[in-house]
Amino acid sequence: MDIIICPTSADAEKLTARMIADAINAKPEFRLGLATGATMENVYAELTALYKAGKVDFSQVRSWNLDEYVGLPPEHDQSYRYFMNTRLFNNINIDIRNTHVPNGLADDEEAEAARYDEEIEDAGGIDLWLVGIGKTGHIAFNDPGTSFNSRTHVAYLSNETYEQNKNYFNPPESMPRRAFTAGVGTIMESRKILQLITGERKADIAAAAIEGPMTAMISSSALQLHPDAVIILDEAAASKLKLRDFYKEIFANDPKWAAYR
């Protein structure tokens, strides 16, 4: 794992967007995995700014999102399809037909989940998957106890995840308790994983996921097994990392990061 600690959340968001844009520029027919959540909002604003400045072209990019609430139509303002359309897709030159989010209204949930994994596989797999981390340590909606080998499935959300997200809903109790989520195994098959973790509220779980033992109780800890995982944090989220100074030394001195310093 490569751990990069940025002074502020704005620096971390900018760096994340830059790395995504650089990866797309190196391979225009990019298969991009995306995430939702408050952490990602400024990343998408940055990507939009890079697009408007002529620094990245999404015309040949295909995207897949991590998750979607069961029962929410795409036009619901808390659906992840709506989040993606409004925060990113409508603002850049991606072909909306090339953007994929699980269908929260699918009648046959198992078939929809299997279809999603097949679609990714048929496209040749994901080149880079952008992920965040939840307070339970989840990546996507893989809450505690989810197998590292899990495939896309419908998950019943933990109480902590429900508490984390319900206030986005009006009324809060209308938040669905179930969601389609890419499995830990689905995400781990991505050629590269880029994780963004910001804010003091994520400091404990970031330390547990990055430096603690691998466990299905913290699905993000599976990233320790990934051959190309880059984790970008701001100082606040990195404050509980034991090897904080070592990670900074690597980023400051290793020639592989020269372009990003």
Q: Which residue's CB atom is positioned nearest to ligand PGA?
A: 37
Residue 38 within binding range of ligand PGA, rule CB under 6 A: yes
Residue 33 within binding range of ligand PGA, rule CB under 6 A: no
CA distances, 141 to each of 27, 38, 153, 220, 226 (Å): 29, 15, 10, 11, 19
Q: Which is nearer to ligand PGA, 4 or 157 (CB)?
A: 157
Cα separation, 29 vs 132, in Å, equals: 24
Give the amino acid at 258. A
**Residue from 132, 137, 176, 183 that binds ligand PGA (CB under 6 A)?**
132
Q: Which is nearer to ligand PGA, 60 or 224 (CB)?
A: 224
Residue 37 within binding range of ligand PGA, rule CB under 6 A: yes
Residue 102 within binding range of ligand PGA, rule CB under 6 A: no
- The residue range among 11-19, 55-63, 127-135, 227-235 that interacts with ligand PGA, by the rule CB under 6 A, is 127-135
Residue 51, token pair as written in the block: 């697009």
- The residue range among 14-22, 33-41, 105-113, 237-245 that interacts with ligand PGA, by the rule CB under 6 A, is 33-41
Q: Which is nearer to ligand PGA, 63 or 195 (CB)?
A: 195
CA distances, 118 to each of 5, 30, 121, 122 (Å): 35, 17, 5, 6
Q: How far is the CB of 67 from ligand PGA (least distance, A)?
A: 9
Instruction: Tell me the pairing of strands 153-156 and 178-181.
Output: antiparallel
Q: How many CB atoms neighbour CB 164 within 10 A?
A: 18
Q: How far is the CB of 146 from ligand PGA (least distance, A)?
A: 13
Q: Which is nearer to ligand PGA, 134 or 176 (CB)?
A: 134
- Please provide the DSSP assignment of 154-219 as one string: EEEPPHHHHHHHGGGSSSGGGS-SEEEE--HHHHHTSSEEEEEE-SGGGHHHHHHHHHS--BTTBG
Q: How many CB atoms neighbour CB 242 within 10 A?
A: 9
Residue 134 within binding range of ligand PGA, rule CB under 6 A: yes
- The residue range among 31-39, 76-84, 90-98, 105-113 that interacts with ligand PGA, by the rule CB under 6 A, is 31-39
Is residue 131 within 8 A of residue 193, CB to CB? The reply is yes
Instruction: Tell me the site size for ligand PGA, rule CB under 6 A.
Output: 7
Cα separation, 14 vs 187, in Å, equals: 23
Cα separation, 248 vs 232, in Å, equals: 11
Rg (Cα) of the chain, in Å, rounded?
17
**Residue from 88, 133, 237, 238 that binds ligand PGA (CB under 6 A)?**
133
Residue 167 within binding range of ligand PGA, rule CB under 6 A: no
Q: Which is nearer to ligand PGA, 124 or 208 (CB)?
A: 208
Q: How far is the CB of 37 from ligand PGA (least distance, A)?
A: 3
Chain contacts with ligand PGA (rule: CB under 6 A): 37-39, 132-134, 138
